[in-house]
Chain A
Amino acid sequence: MLTTVTRTDFDFSNEQEAFRAELGQFLHERLPDDWQGIFVEGDEGWQLSLDICRELGERGWLTMAWPAAYGGQDASIWLQAILQEEYWAHNEPRGPQYMNVNWLGPALIHFGTDEHKAYFLPKLAAGEMMWAQGFSEPDAGSDLAALKCSAVPDGDGFVVRGHKIWISYGDIADYCFLLCRTDPTSRRKEGLSVLLVDLSLPGVERRPISSTLGYHRINELFFDDVFVPRSALLGPQNDGWRVAMTALAFERSGSARYARSARTLGLMEQRHGDEWDDTRWEQYASLLAFARATELVNYGVISKKETGEVPRVEASAARIHNSLLEQALADFAEQTTGLDFIVYGADDHAVDNGELESMWRNSFAATVTAGSYEIQSGIIAHSLGMEGRR
C-alpha cells in the first residue's frame, strides 16, 4: 500500500515569499495612498477596481491556482492564498471580483457544464466580470431554506419571480448566482436550483439600500417575470441546495479577511504602541496570538483543500475566527486609539484616511454576513454530535 508522507511546514517557501513581495510592491505602486476599498471609495473606487482587476488578469494574478484549461496556471493553492492575503491586506482592490476566485469559480468548476466553463471562467480569469450572490430574502435570512423566489420551468427556460435582499454589489454586478425554487410544490431544501442570471435581462430591477456599511454593500434585487434560458442552470435541477452549500463552504474558507486584521493591528501599534503600558502590551500580544491562531486555522482549511476535500466544518471554524478577530480588534481600537476609531475617512481629522474607523464600523457586520456566527456554530455543533431544536 502506498503511504503519503506529510512534510509539515509552517512557512511559505522562499519563492512564495518572493512572489508576495512582488505582488505587494505592485499593489503599493498601483493603488492610491488613501485607497480604502470600494465600499469607501464609491464610483471612482469601483472603476479603479475594474481597471486593476484587468491588469491583475493580464498578469495572471487572479486565478493562479485554477487549472490551465480554465484560465489558471495550475499553481499551488498556497500561491493563491498569498494572493488573497495581499489583496485583503490592501483593502481588497478586486472589489466584488474576490468572490470570483473564492467561491464562484470553484463552484462553476465543480458543477458547471462545459459551456459554462468555456463562457465564464476565462472572463473571471481576465478580471472582467462582476457577480452577486442572490440568496437572502426578506423572510429567508438565516433560515435560507424558507426562500420563496420562484423559477417556474417554461419551455426552454425558467420564469423567475421574486425579491432578493442584502445583496452585496447587486447594484454593479453583471450576473447573479441565484438560488430559487424551481419546483413550486416543494418545501424547504428540496426543489431548489441555482441559476446564473444575467442581470441585464428585462424584468430585473436593482435598488441600493442606504446603510452605514458603505457603497455597493447591500442592495435589493427584484425579478419580475424574468425569462432565464435553461442553459443558466448550474448543477442538477432541484438539487440547488447542495450546489449553494458547496459554494458557501468555498466562500467561508476562501477569504483572507484575517490579513486585513494583521495589517490593522500593525497600524494601531505603529501609531499608539509607544503610549501603551505593560498591561496594554499584554493585551495586544494576546491579540496577536489570537490572530496567529486565526491564520493557522485558515491554513488548516487550505491544507485540507489541497487534498481535494471541501472542508465544511473547518471552514466554519475559520469563519468564526476571522469574524471574532475583527471584533476583538474593534474592541481594542476603542480602548487604545483615542478618537481614531470614530472619525470617518472623509473628515479632516481622520487618521490613516479613516481605515480604523471603517474597520471598527464594519466589524459588527462580520458575524452576520456570509452565514452568521450562530449558523456557523450550529454547523460545528452538528459535527460534534449535538442535535436538537435550534
Chain B
Amino acid sequence: MNVELPDATVEFAAVVARALMADDAPDGAGLFGVLDEMGVLDLAGSESADPDNAQLNAVVVLDEIARAGKRAPVAETIWARSRGIDTGRGFVAVASEARMAHDRLVPYGRFALSLLSGTCDAPVPIDLPADVRPARIEIDHDHLWLPPTTPAPALAQLDQAFAWRAASAATVGAMARATDLAIAHAHQRVQFGRPLASFQALQFRLVECHWRLLGLRLLVREAGWRADRNDGRADVVSALAWLYARDVGRIVTKHTHQIFGAIGFTREMGLTTVTGSAATLRALYPARDAAAVVRAGRAWVDDAPPSTILGGFLTDHQAVPA
C-alpha cells in the first residue's frame, strides 16, 4: 500500500500545471492545442508515454486543468482517443448519455466542432449543423443547448466508469479552485477591522473544503489506478468517487459562496463558473446510476461484515462492459 503518486505522474502534472498557470496560457481552442502538444490528449491512447498509468495520469491532469480554471473538452478527447477514435481537428464533444433529463445539453458544446454520435461501441463524429448555436443559460457553462427544432442525434455515451472518474477529477479541480479563490478572498477582504480569514466561523468552512478535497482526491486517484490495472473493483471505485465528488461539490460550493458574500455572484470573480461547471457535471451524471453499480457490487464471503470498505465488494465485478 502506498497512496502517494508515482514520481513520473507528479513530474508530468507539474509540467502541465506550469503551462496552465503561465500568464499567456490560452483557454478553449488555444489551450487544447497546447495540451495536445504535451501529450495530454493521448494520455490513455495508443500514443501514451506512460500506458501503465494512463488512467491515473488522466485524472491527475484533469484535476490540474480544472484547478487552473481552464476549460476545454479534454476528458472527452482523452476518452475518444483511448478508443482509437480520430478526433480530427481536435475538438470533440460527447453528449454524456441519453438518460439525462435534458438530452440536448452537451458539455463543452460551445467549443465543439463536431459531436460524437452513436453508441459507445461505434461512435461516429458528426459535423454540427450550421443552425446550432450555443444558447446562454443563467450560469455560464461551456455547454451547448441544441434548439428544439434540431433532431437530437443519437448521442454517444461516454464509457460510464471513465465518465465518473473524469467528472470526479474535474470536480476536485474545480472545487480546489473555488477553495483557493475563497482563501485568497478571505485574506484580502476586511470587515469589522479584520480580514475575514481571522473569523473562526469562516475558517472552519474553508477547513472543511480542505479536508474533504484531500479525501476525494485520493479516492479519484484510486479509481484511476484501479482502471489501469483492470481491477475488478475499478468501476465500483469510480462510482464511489463520483458519489463522493457530488457531495463534496455541493459542500464546497456552499462554503465558498458564503465566504465571498455578494461579490461571489458576479461574473468577474469567476466563482460561479467553477461552482456552476461542477453542478453541470452533477446534472449530467446522476447519482442513481453510480449507486446502482455500488449496490450490484456489494457482497462478502464470511457471515461477519468486512473490516474494510472494499472488502465488502466482489472483486470480479465489472459494472460496465469495457
Residues of A within 8 A of B (CB): 3-13, 16, 20, 24, 28, 78, 81, 85-86, 88-90, 259, 262-267, 269-270, 273, 278, 281-282, 284-286, 288-297, 299-300, 302-303, 306, 314, 317, 320-321, 374, 377-378, 380-381, 384-390
Q: Is the CB of A24 within 8 A of B1?
A: no
CB neighbours (8 Å) of A286 from chain B are 243-244, 246-247, 287, 291
Interface of B is mostly: helix
CB within 8 A of B3: which of A86, A284, A300? A300
Q: Identify which of B6, B291, B308 gathers the most chain A CB atoms within 10 Å of its CB.
A: B308
Given contacts A85-B307, A288-B309, contact A380 B211 (CB under 8 A): yes
B241→A317 contact, CB < 8 A: no
Q: B76 within 8 Å of A by Cβ?
A: no
13 other A-B residue contacts (CB within 8 Å) besides A266-B312, A390-B200: A5-B7, A6-B4, A8-B2, A10-B1, A10-B3, A10-B225, A262-B307, A281-B291, A286-B246, A291-B309, A303-B3, A388-B194, A388-B198
Question: For the complex, would chain A's binding face be called helix, strand, loop or mixed by DSSP majority?
Answer: helix
Is B2 touching A303 in the complex (CB atoms < 8 A)?
A: yes
- Closest chain-A Cβ to B294's Cβ sits at a distance in Å of 4
Chain B min CB distance to A227 (Å): 43
Q: Is the CB of B295 within 8 A of A281?
A: yes
Could you say which residues of chain A place their CB within 8 Å of the CB of B310?
292
Q: In the bound complex, do residue B247 and residue A290 qualify as a contact, i.e. CB atoms below 8 Å apart? A: yes
Query: Do B288 and A289 have beta carbons less than 8 Å apart?
Result: no
Q: Least Cβ distance of B300 to chain A in Å?
A: 7
Cβ of A257 to closest chain B Cβ, rounded Å:
12
The 4 closest A-B pairs by CB, nearest first: A266-B305, A388-B198, A89-B307, A293-B215
Beta-carbon nearest neighbor of A296 in chain B: B218
Contact between chains at B306 and A300 (CB < 8 Å): no
B265 at the interface (CB under 8 A from A): no
Q: Tell me, in angstroms, the Cα distance from A10 to B236 when the chains sit together.
A: 14
Is there an interface contact between A381 and B207, defined as CB atoms closer than 8 Å? Answer: yes
Q: Which parts of B178-225 form the interface with A (CB within 8 Å)?
A: 183, 186-187, 194-195, 197-200, 203-204, 206-208, 210-211, 214-216, 218-219, 221-222, 225
B5 at interface by CB-CB < 8 Å: yes
Question: How far apart are A313's CB and chain B's nearest CB, in angstroms?
Answer: 9
Known: A8-B2, A9-B2. Is A290-B304 also a contact (CB below 8 A)? no
Collect the chain A residues with CB atoms within 8 Å of residue B9's CB: 8
How far does the Cβ of B262 sit from chain A's closest Cβ, in whole Å? 22
A285-B239, A297-B215, A377-B203 given; A11·B1 CB < 8 A: yes
Q: Which residues of B contact A88 (CB under 8 A)?
A: 307
Interface residues on B, range: 35 or more
Asked if B56 lies at the interface with its beta carbon under 8 angstroms from chain A, I say yes
Give complex CA distance A86, B305 in Å: 12
Kindly state whether residue B115 has any CB partner on chain A within 8 Å.
Answer: no
Contacts of A385 in B (CB 8 A): 183, 187, 197
5 contacts between A and B (CB under 8 A): A85-B308, A262-B306, A269-B312, A286-B244, A286-B287
A81 and B307 CA atoms in complex are apart in Å by: 12
**Given A377-B207, A384-B183, residue A8 in contact with residue B306 (CB < 8 A):** no
- Please give, as numbers and ranges, the residues of chain A lying within 8 Å of B294 by CB-CB distance: 281, 285, 288-289
Question: Are B200 and A263 in contact, with the CB atoms below 8 A?
Answer: no
Identity of the chain B residue whose Cβ is nearest the Cβ of A7 in the assembled complex? B2
Contact of A6 among B5, B237, B306, B309 (CB under 8 A): B5
In angstroms, Cα B218 to Cα A317, docked, is: 13
Q: Report B-chain residues with C-beta under 8 Å of the C-beta of A282.
A: 243, 287-288, 291
Interface contact A8-B210, CB-CB below 8 Å: no
User: CB of B226 within 8 A of chain A?
Assistant: yes
Whether B147 sits at the interface, judged by CB under 8 Å, is no
The minimal Cβ–Cβ distance linking B63 to chain A, given in whole angstroms, is 15
Q: Would you call B163 an interface residue if the criterion is a C-beta within 8 Å of the partner chain's C-beta atoms? A: no
Given A8-B2, A386-B206; A3-B7 close (CB under 8 Å) = yes
Q: Which residues of A sit under 8 angstroms from B239, Cβ to Cβ?
A: 285
A28 to B305, CA, bound (A): 12
B186 in contact with A386 (CB, 8 Å): yes
Residues of chain A within 8 A (CB-CB) of B206 are 381, 384, 386
Most buried by A among B203, B239, B307: B307
B240 beta carbon closer than 8 Å to chain A: yes
Q: Which residue of chain A has the shortest Cβ distance to B237 in the bound complex?
A: A292
In the complex the two chains form, is A321's CB within 8 Å of B194's CB? no
In the complex, the answer to whether A317 meets B2 with C-beta atoms within 8 Å is: no
Are A285 and B240 in touch, CB under 8 angstroms? yes
Which residues of chain B are near A284, meaning CB under 8 Å? Answer: 291
By a CB distance below 8 angstroms, the chain A residues around B30 are none
Contact A9 B1 (CB under 8 A): yes
| Cβ B298 vs Cβ A269 within 8 A | yes
B84 within 8 A of A: no
How long is the Cα–Cα vector from A290 to B7 in the complex, in angstroms? 27
Separation of A174 and B296 alpha carbons in the complex (Å):
50
| In the complex, chain B residues whose CB is within 8 Å of the CB of A389 | 198, 200
Residues from chain B with a CB closer than 8 A to the CB of A293 are 215-216, 218-219, 244
